[in-house]
């Protein structure tokens, strides 16, 4: 097996030429003719590909003194032009003329792939209509985009729900549980167990299932975590009473539920059906479960929507991931979704570790919900900053430093005087502000670690949740006193001595004026008591706007939005001929240094504007140069086929959980990365043969279900019915929406393969004409879906 990629012959007969409205220094060089050969009495001309080529034309002259004219005598296919050999004529001279796609189209494709999570058919049309600049400006002011997504509506279902489930196959009932799935409350009434498959039909084999009699250990027994449950007459579904379930810890099995033995009845094996009525409370909603031991059957009440579970602190991590993913798919405010992800991936925290820390401190079984809550709260705060035109990097950094998830993750939570833990100090400089080895050394890390001692996480009373000096709720009372797990400062553990960071250091000469040569030493005086917490705040204030930080963050933003090859710690900004990359970083840094309307430096939108208005971003240096991470790939796969249907709904959608599962398979667990360096922005870290196969499987699986992806509905919406059976037109449409930045000429051979696909049976070999298929038939549907699955399995679809 040869690893040589298709070689590019460097024999040029003549250089190609360009047709462009304007030529910039960064334009690629024109396509070169690689060879002219005689093959089978044909003259075959081969030339090199050209980025974003819309059309190639072959020009010919028979004498160099005469002008080149278009030669349409031959057949152009991909990068090959064949023409019959004209015997008896002298050799001619050839040139390749390329018409690239317009600058607006090129920039539009890049913008929708970087500022948005991939184009949708509708967004492609819209950006063509309003123009790239208008789209960028719109996205940079998300607070002005009116939006009311259903995924943001907190909904506690009202009214009594009916829940039932029949056993699969025969079972012998022995024991039945009723419990809440999370800390919270809910009303249960009319619990029935009947023989047979019809809910509620027949004698109720449970005792006191309607809760009209007082609870008695002969019927319902109550485990400790449901001890506060009681019969109530406040609400009921039928009769006068119902059971108010109150759980102080999640229920899972007998010892964490309300249960009833059925063994005294010697019930025979058979089919049985459970049913009950369930009513949410409004202050602490929770799901309920009624089931047999052995879980067959299990009758679980309806899931609370992710945002509802998140708001009431009972969410699983999947809820947070789902909510995050659905925003990326559905929101109009695409840029802010990218920025939220960027920030979360920059100030990395690790939900598993919070769970581990909280074990034994929160009710058993609820660790995951509490840990998810910590992730959600920092995410919410960052989103508020990003929605604010005055938001700065310092604002984001402060939220991270104060986040209990961070205090736990980098071990500050146990760091104390005499035994300072270096982890946070190191990563704060290495990963969150200055960048590795960019202006600090090991001694600075050791000094700085002492400053963070005493920062803790504890449960504070509800009205004291923003006061880290408040006395935490005593351990013995934790599970019974309302409060919030949040940042707390333990002055007795703080190292009160003076600290000096960056002693005698000055900003590197390479930064040039105005910063080069300036000292940036930070001296913290000895501080006792609660004043010691100021150490940490002084540090982040100092780090937030250092040139090193400006550089590193600008590099990270450019790696995220532009292309992979930006580096920190290397560029000499005083040099005369800066590379486009170094120049862009310098420009970003200057923007950072420019005070915004509120007088503060580090305004995020000021820096982003520089990036999005840069020719590096808008032209070839950025176009299609990156690889889609698992998040970007799965979301873009949904969006690529997602157009609004006139009657409501879309031609493609997802549950969010489905994307999350694929992302986990591809190695990306949102909010749960063990290493603090965040998910990689480099293609080489994501692409190998198995991840490619996994991505193809994801696309193919979705295409099997019209509720997830319906390319047939999409093409019927966008193409006139006369073209529905035209393999060329159908291929052209999908190529144009899936690869908007590639150029029709570069997709020529892919188009040929797509047409072959449409005209071949599933066995891959027998011809079967697409033009005679009934557009309402399964065969037609499979053919189109297969072709789209093929296109979305191509290497280009992995690009961003």
Least separation in angstroms between residue 303's CB and another protein is 27
* Gap between the terminal Cα atoms of the chain: 29
Q: Which of 432, 485, 511, 757 binds another protein (CB under 8 A)?
A: 757
Neighbour tally for 147: CB within 10 Å: 10
**Residue 497 binds another protein, judged by CB under 8 A:** no
**Residue 17 binds another protein, judged by CB under 8 A:** no
Contacts of 642 (CB under 8 A, 6+ apart): 120, 121, 329, 650, 651, 652, 653
**Residue 461 binds another protein, judged by CB under 8 A:** no
Q: Which of 164, 467, 680, 768 binds another protein (CB under 8 A)?
A: 680
Paired residues of 186 in beta bridges? 245, 280
Beta strand residue intervals within 395-504, DSSP E: 455-461, 483-489, 499-501
**Residue 753 binds another protein, judged by CB under 8 A:** yes
**Rounded to whole angstroms, how far apart are CA atoms 297 and 169?**
10
**Residue 509 binds another protein, judged by CB under 8 A:** no
**Rounded to whole angstroms, how far apart are CA atoms 600 and 722?**
59
**Rounded to whole angstroms, how far apart are CA atoms 588 and 583?**
9
Q: Site map for another protein, 619-658, x if CB under 8 A?
A: -x--xxxxx-------------------------------
Nearer to another protein, 656 or 743 (CB): 743
Rounded to 10°, the helix 393-402/534-544 angle is 150
Tell me the window of 121-129, 364-372, 542-550, 753-761 that interacts with another protein (CB under 8 A).
753-761
What torsion do the CA atoms of 200, 204, 207, 213 make, to the nearest 10 degrees?
60
Backbone angles phi, psi at 684, to 5 degrees: -60, -20
Least separation in angstroms between residue 724's CB and another protein is 18
Paired residues of 672 in beta bridges? 350
Q: Give residues 19-78 in contact with another protein (rule: CB under 8 A).
A: 28-29, 48-53, 78
**Residue 730 binds another protein, judged by CB under 8 A:** no
**Residue 618 binds another protein, judged by CB under 8 A:** no
**Rounded to whole angstroms, how far apart are CA atoms 653 and 325?**
12
Beta strand residue intervals within 332-423, DSSP E: none
Tell me the window of 58-66, 411-419, 590-598, 722-730 that interacts with another protein (CB under 8 A).
411-419
Neighbour tally for 4: CB within 10 Å: 5
Least separation in angstroms between residue 474's CB and another protein is 23
**Residue 346 binds another protein, judged by CB under 8 A:** no
Least separation in angstroms between residue 703's CB and another protein is 5
Nearer to another protein, 523 or 704 (CB): 704
Nearer to another protein, 283 or 442 (CB): 442
Dihedral (CA of 15, 20, 25, 28) sign: negative
**Residue 687 binds another protein, judged by CB under 8 A:** yes
- DSSP secondary structure letter of residue 562: T
Q: Site map for another protein, 416-455, x if CB under 8 A?
A: x-xx-xxx--x---x-----x-----x-------------
Q: Which of 750, 751, 773, 780 binds another protein (CB under 8 A)?
A: 750
**Residue 577 binds another protein, judged by CB under 8 A:** no
Backbone angles phi, psi at 633, to 5 degrees: -70, -50
Nearer to another protein, 608 or 627 (CB): 627
Least separation in angstroms between residue 755's CB and another protein is 11
- DSSP secondary structure letter of residue 600: -
Query: How many C-alpha atoms does 644 have within 13 Å on its Cβ side?
Result: 9
**Residue 215 binds another protein, judged by CB under 8 A:** no
Q: How far, in Å, are 121, 412, 600 from residue 394 at the CA level?
A: 38, 20, 10
Neighbour tally for 31: CB within 10 Å: 23
Least separation in angstroms between residue 614's CB and another protein is 16
Tell me the window of 231-239, 635-643, 650-658, 673-681 that interacts with another protein (CB under 8 A).
673-681
User: Which tokens in the block code for residue 112?
Assistant: 């929708």
Q: Give residues 266-305 in contact with another protein (rule: CB under 8 A).
A: none
Q: Site map for another protein, 537-576, x if CB under 8 A?
A: --------------------------xxx-x---------
Q: Which of 72, 218, 263, 690 binds another protein (CB under 8 A)?
A: 690
Least separation in angstroms between residue 685's CB and another protein is 5
Tell me the window of 148-156, 287-295, 547-555, 694-702 that interacts with another protein (CB under 8 A).
694-702
User: Which tokens in the block code for residue 95?
Assistant: 């040139």
The owner of tokens 């349409």 is 72
Least separation in angstroms between residue 788's CB and another protein is 8
User: Which tokens in the block code for residue 309?
Assistant: 């579970």
Tell me the window of 222-230, 516-524, 600-608, 688-696 that interacts with another protein (CB under 8 A).
688-696
């Amino acid at each position: 097996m040869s690893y040589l990629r298709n070689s590019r012959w460097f024999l040029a007969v003549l250089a190609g030429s360009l047709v462009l409205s304007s030529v910039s220094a960064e334009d690629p060089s024109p396509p070169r003719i690689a060879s002219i050969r005689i093959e089978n009495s044909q003259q075959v001309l081969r030339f090199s590909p050209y980025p974003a080529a819309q059309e190639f034309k072959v020009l010919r002259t028979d004498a160099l003194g005469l002008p080149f004219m278009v030669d349409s005598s031959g057949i152009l296919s991909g990068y090959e032009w064949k023409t019959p050999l004209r015997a008896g004529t002298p050799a001619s001279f050839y040139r390749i003329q390329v018409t690239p796609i317009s600058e607006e189209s090129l920039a539009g494709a890049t913008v929708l792939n970087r500022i948005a999570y991939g184009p949708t058919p509708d967004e492609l049309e819209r950006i063509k209509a309003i123009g790239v600049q208008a789209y960028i400006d719109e996205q940079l002011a998300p607070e002005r985009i009116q939006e009311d997504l259903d995924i943001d509506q907190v909904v506690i279902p009202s009214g009594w729900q009916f829940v039932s489930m029949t056993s699969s196959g025969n079972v012998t009932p022995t024991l039945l549980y009723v419990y809440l799935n999370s800390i919270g409350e809910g009303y249960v009434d009319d619990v029935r167990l009947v023989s047979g498959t019809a809910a509620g039909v027949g004698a109720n084999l449970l005792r006191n299932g309607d809760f009209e009699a007082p609870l008695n250990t002969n019927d319902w027994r109550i485990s400790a975590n449901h001890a506060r449950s009681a019969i109530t007459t406040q609400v009921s579904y039928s009769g006068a009473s119902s059971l108010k379930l109150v759980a102080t810890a999640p229920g899972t099995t007998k010892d964490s539920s309300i249960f009833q033995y059925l063994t005294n009845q010697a019930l025979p094996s058979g089919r049985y059906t459970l049913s009950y009525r369930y009513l949410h409370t409004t202050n602490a909603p929770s799901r309920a479960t009624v089931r047999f031991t052995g879980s067959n059957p299990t009758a679980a009440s309806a899931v609370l929507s992710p945002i509802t579970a998140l708001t009431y602190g009972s969410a699983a991590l999947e809820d947070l991931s789902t909510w995050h993913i659905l925003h990326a798919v559905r929101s109009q405010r695409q840029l802010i979704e990218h920025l939220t992800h960027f920030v979360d991936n920059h100030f990395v925290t690790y939900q598993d570790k919070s769970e581990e820390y909280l074990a034994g401190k929160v009710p058993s079984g609820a660790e995951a919900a509490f840990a998810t809550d910590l992730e959600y709260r920092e995410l919410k705060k960052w989103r508020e900053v990003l929605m604010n035109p005055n938001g700065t990097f310092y604002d984001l950094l402060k939220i991270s430093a104060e986040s209990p998830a961070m205090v736990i993750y980098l071990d500050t939570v146990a760091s104390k005087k005499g035994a300072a833990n270096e982890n946070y100090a190191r990563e704060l400089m290495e990963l969150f502000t200055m960048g590795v080895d960019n202006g600090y050394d090991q001694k600075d890390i050791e000094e700085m670690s002492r400053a963070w001692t005493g920062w803790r996480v504890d449960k504070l009373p509800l009205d004291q949740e923003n006061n880290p000096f408040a006395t935490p709720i005593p351990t013995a009372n934790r599970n019974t006193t309302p409060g919030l797990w949040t940042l707390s400062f333990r002055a007795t553990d703080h190292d009160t001595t003076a600290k000096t960071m960056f002693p005698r250091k000055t900003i590197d000469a390479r930064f040039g004026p105005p910063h080069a040569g300036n000292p940036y030493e930070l001296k913290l005086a000895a501080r006792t008591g609660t004043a010691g917490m100021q150490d940490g705040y002084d540090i982040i204030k100092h780090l937030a706007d250092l040139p090193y930080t400006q550089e590193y963050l600008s590099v990270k933003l450019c790696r995220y939005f532009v292309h992979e090859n930006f580096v920190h710690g290397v560029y000499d900004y005083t040099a005369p001929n800066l590379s486009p990359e170094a120049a862009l970083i310098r420009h970003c840094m200057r923007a950072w240094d420019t005070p915004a309307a509120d007088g503060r430096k580090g305004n995020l939108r000021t820096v982003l504007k520089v990036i999005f208005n840069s020719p590096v971003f808008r032209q070839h240096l950025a176009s299609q140069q990156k690889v889609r991470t698992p998040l970007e790939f799965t979301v873009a796969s949904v969006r690529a086929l997602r157009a609004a249907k006139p009657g409501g709904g879309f031609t493609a959608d997802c549950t969010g959980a489905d994307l999350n599962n694929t992302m986990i398979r591809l190695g990306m667990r949102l909010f749960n990365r063990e290493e603090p360096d965040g998910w990689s922005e480099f293609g080489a870290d994501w692409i190998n043969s198995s991840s490619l196969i996994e991505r193809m499987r994801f696309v193919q699986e979705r295409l099997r279900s019209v509720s997830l992806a319906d390319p047939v509905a999409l093409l019927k919406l966008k193409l006139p019915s006369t073209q529905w059976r035209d393999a060329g037109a159908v291929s052209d449409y999908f190529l144009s929406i899936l690869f908007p930045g590639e150029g029709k000429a570069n997709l020529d051979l892919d188009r040929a393969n797509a047409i072959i696909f449409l005209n071949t049976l599933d066995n891959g070999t027998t011809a079967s004409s697409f033009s005679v298929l009934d557009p309402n038939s399964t065969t037609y549907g499979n053919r189109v879906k297969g072709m789209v699955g093929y296109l979305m399995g191509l290497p280009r679809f992995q690009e961003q």
